[in-house]
Amino acid sequence: MRFRHPDGTTVHLAYCTNVHPAETLDGVLAQLRDHCEPVRRRLGRDRLGIGLWLAKDAAHALDTDPAALRGLRAALDRRGLEVVTLNGFPYEGFGAEQVKYRVYRPDWADPERLEHTTALARVLTGLLPDDLTEGSVSTLPLGWRTTWTDDRADAAHAALLTLAERLDALADLTGRSVRVGLEPEPGCVVETTGDALAPLTAVGHPRIGVCVDTCHLATSFEDPHTALDALAAARVPVVKSQLSAALHAEHPRLPAVREALAAFDEPRFLHQTRTVGDTGRLHGTDDLGQALTGDALPDTSPWRAHFHVPLHAAPAAPLTSTLPVLKDALTRLVGGPHPLTRHLEVETYTWQALPPALRPRGRAQLADGIAAELALARDLLTDLGLKELP
C-alpha cells in the first residue's frame, strides 16, 4: 500500500510474511498464493506491499539463480503484490516449534550474517517495482548480549563497514539503493535506540541505520519522541519501522493479572519482559515465564512483554497493548513536515502463539486478522494527513 505524504514523498505500508514462515523458495511462492493475495483481496486493493522474510535457503536460491529471481518477481506481479523491504532478522528455522534464543544466530560477529545480508540486498534489487529505486532490509541488533565480547564487537564493526561498501557497489551496479537497519530488541547488545547510536555513528554510513520496531520500543519503555529525536540529532537514518504492539500489564502484582499473563507464556518465542523500578532503572527478564516466577521482577510498576499482539485486537482486561506507543511513534515518524522513514511494516508474527482461544482457525481467519491490522494502520496514516494511493 502506498501513501502520499503532504511533502510529496511516497510512504510504503506492508505486512511481514514471517507470520507464515517458509524455508524454501517453493514455500515462499505458496505464501503468495495462500496468504498474501487473499489479504490483498480482503482490503480491496489492486496492489499490496509485503515485507518478505527469506530464510537462508530461499535467499541463496534467489541470489544464485537469476531465473528463480525473475520467477518470484513475476509471481509477485501476477498476484498484485510488491516488495520494497525484507525482514533479514531471522536466519532460518523461524517456523520451528521452539525458536527462543536461536533467532539471534548467526550474529554480526559471524561472517555468515554478512554474507546472508549481502545476498538479501542483491535479491531485493531484483524484486523492487520498476518505478522504485530504494529498498530496505532489517537485521538483528548485532547479537545477544550474554555472548558479546570486545572481540566480537570489533568483528561486527568490521562486518558493517564491509556491508556499507557492498551496498555502495550494488547501487553503482544496479542503480538501486538498499539500506540496512539494525532492529533494537530487548536482551540484545543493542536493546534500545540509544544503544544503537554508538555503533552506528562509528560506522557513519547513510545506508546503515535503524529499524524502529514499536513493540520493542515500548517493551523497553522508551519514549518515542525522545528516541526518534536522538536518532535524528545523531544523523542515524530510520531505514524502516515495524508497526507492532507489546503486551502491557498495568498491575502485575494482582493475581488476576498474573493469571492472564501466564496464558501468553508459550514455548516457541522469547518474550522478554521489562518494568521500570522506583528509581527509574529498567529491570527485565529474558522470558515472560521467568518474570512470573517468584520475585524475579519488581511488580509495583507496569510490566511490558515482548509479545507482538494484533494491532486491532488488544487482549481482554486486565491486560492491554502498547498501541498508544505505536501511535505516538507513527506521529513522529510520518506526521511531521517530512517523514523520518518511507518504509512501514506491520509485523505481528505471533498469531499462532496467542492463547488458544485467540488464535485464528485456519487461513481465512488469519487473512481476516492481517487485513484488519493493515486497515487500522491505513487509518492511522490517513488521520495524519497522508493520502492513500491507488
Domains along the chain with CATH numbers? 2-247+315-388 (3.20.20.150)
Q: What is the pLDDT of residue 294?
A: 87
User: What percent of the chain lies above the pLDDT cut of 70?
Assistant: 100
Give the HSE-up count for residue 232: Cα atoms under 13 Å, Cβ half-sphere. Answer: 13
- Mean pLDDT score, 31-56: 98
Taking the C-alpha atoms of residue 351 and residue 310, their distance in angstroms, rounded to an integer, is 8
Q: What is the pLDDT of residue 21?
A: 83
Q: What is the pLDDT of residue 316?
A: 96
Does the global pTM surpass 0.95? yes
- pLDDT tens digits, residue range 56-83? 999 999 999 999 999 999 999 999 999 9
Instruction: Please count the other Cβ atoms lying within 10 Å of the Cβ belonging to residue 251.
Output: 14
- Mean pLDDT score, 252-263: 97
Sheet holding 319-321, edge to edge: 282-285, 273-276, 303-309, 245-249, 319-321
pLDDT at 355 over 90: yes
135 and 84 Cβ atoms separated by less than 8 Å = yes
pLDDT category of residue 252 using cuts at 50, 70 and 90: very high
Cα maximum dimension of the chain: 60
To the nearest whole number, what is the mean pLDDT of the chain?
Answer: 97
pLDDT at 313 over 90: yes
Q: What is the pLDDT of residue 254?
A: 97
Classify residue 235 by burial, with Cβ atoms within 10 Å: 0-12, 13-18, 19+: exposed
Over the range 335-355, which residues count as b (16 or more CB within 10 Å of their CB) and which as e? beeebbbbbbbbbbbbbebbe
User: What percent of the chain lies above the pLDDT cut of 90?
Assistant: 98
- Mean pLDDT score, 294-314: 96
SS3 content of the chain, % helix, strand, coil (to 5): 45, 20, 35
- Mean pLDDT score, 5-25: 96
228 and 213 Cβ atoms separated by less than 8 Å = no
pLDDT at 347 over 90: yes
Look-up of cell digits 535457503: 57
pLDDT at 156 over 90: yes
- Mean pLDDT score, 334-341: 97
Any alpha helices (H) in the chain, and if so which ranges? Answer: 25-31, 37-43, 56-64, 66-78, 111-127, 150-174, 193-203, 214-219, 224-233, 255-262, 288-291, 323-334, 363-383
pLDDT category of residue 278 using cuts at 50, 70 and 90: confident
Q: What is the pLDDT of residue 264?
A: 98
